A and B are shown apart, each in its own frame.
Chain A
Amino acid sequence: SYELTQPPSVSVSPGQTASITCSGDHLGDKFVYWYQLKPGQSPLLIIYEDTKRPSDITERFSASSSGNTATLTISGTQPLDEAHYYCQAWDKSAVFGGGTKLTVL
């Protein structure tokens, strides 16, 4: 079955840029979606179709995808960005990465 691999954790200082990767075979041939999960809140779609941002998502979130890796970039990271981030793609069904805990130290 298709698998997406994410680092379990990423740490960043406030104001710096955080990058979260997502790897999978020929991932660049698929659309990649990114979701933000915070405890007690509804998960939030932050990136769709590799690079597109929903209208209510801050420009600080951006993403790219090429080859076997997609990358979510958070610029000017703020404490409120501390959350779990999941990538997702489609194979025979929706496949999620294992999630990355972003810590803003």
Chain B
Amino acid sequence: QVQLVESGGNLVKPGGSLRLSCAASGFSFSDYYMTWIRQTPGKGLEWISYIGGNGDTAYYSDSVKGRFTISRDNAKSSLHLQLSGLTVEDTAVYHCARLVYSNGWYHFDYWGRGTQVTVSS
């Protein structure tokens, strides 16, 4: 069965950096776009980044562009998100999710439980 397990979340000071990882299993990892979505009590869900199956395509929301970098290691079935220049507004639970293509559009068919990132001085 499809499993996505995030790790790497932590408490970090404003301006700091962090690297999140997502271990995938149960499917052919390289065949799928993968994405990061963050969840906050105040703002709900926010889609922040995706990466193509072979890593050649990436998207970032305006809120993280220039500060976050998505990457993947298909040999290890792992997805990563490098966070830098963190602010308190980046405090959230970060979920990785699989994107599946259907009828001209994508949706997020499997998600991980998430990893907590807290930015505080």
Query: Is A49 in contact with B109, judged by CB distance below 8 angstroms?
Result: no
Contacts of B44 in A (CB 8 A): 86, 96-99
Pick from B9-17, B66-74, B81-89, B100-108 the stretch touching chain A.
B100-108
Query: Is A49 in contact with B103, judged by CB distance below 8 angstroms?
Result: yes
A58-105 contacts to B (CB < 8 Å): 86, 88, 90, 93-99
Is B59 in the interface zone, CB < 8 Å from A? yes
Contacts of B4 in A (CB 8 A): 42
B26-65 contacts to A (CB < 8 Å): 39, 44-47, 59, 61
Size category of the A interface is 20 to 34
Give bound CA distance, A48 to B100, whole Å: 11
Contacts of A90 in B (CB 8 A): 105-106
Is B8 in the interface zone, CB < 8 Å from A? no
Contacts of B106 in A (CB 8 A): 90, 94
Query: Is B107 in contact with A48, judged by CB distance below 8 angstroms?
Result: yes
Give bound CA distance, A49 to B107, whole Å: 9
Q: Which residue of A lies closest to B5 (CB)?
A: A42
Query: Is B47 in contact with A93, judged by CB distance below 8 angstroms?
Result: yes
Query: Is A31 in contact with B105, judged by CB distance below 8 angstroms?
Result: yes
A sample of 9 more A-B contacts (CB under 8 A), given A43-B95, A90-B105, A90-B106, is: A35-B45, A37-B39, A40-B113, A42-B95, A42-B113, A45-B110, A49-B102, A49-B105, A49-B107
Interface of A with B (CB < 8 Å)?
A: 31, 33, 35, 37, 40-45, 48-49, 54, 86, 88, 90, 93-99
List 19 A-B pairs, Cβ < 8 Å: A31-B105, A33-B107, A35-B45, A35-B108, A42-B4, A42-B114, A43-B108, A45-B107, A45-B109, A45-B110, A48-B102, A49-B102, A49-B103, A49-B107, A54-B109, A88-B108, A98-B44, A99-B44, A99-B45
Interface of B with A (CB < 8 Å)?
A: 4, 39, 44-47, 59, 61, 95, 97, 102-103, 105-114
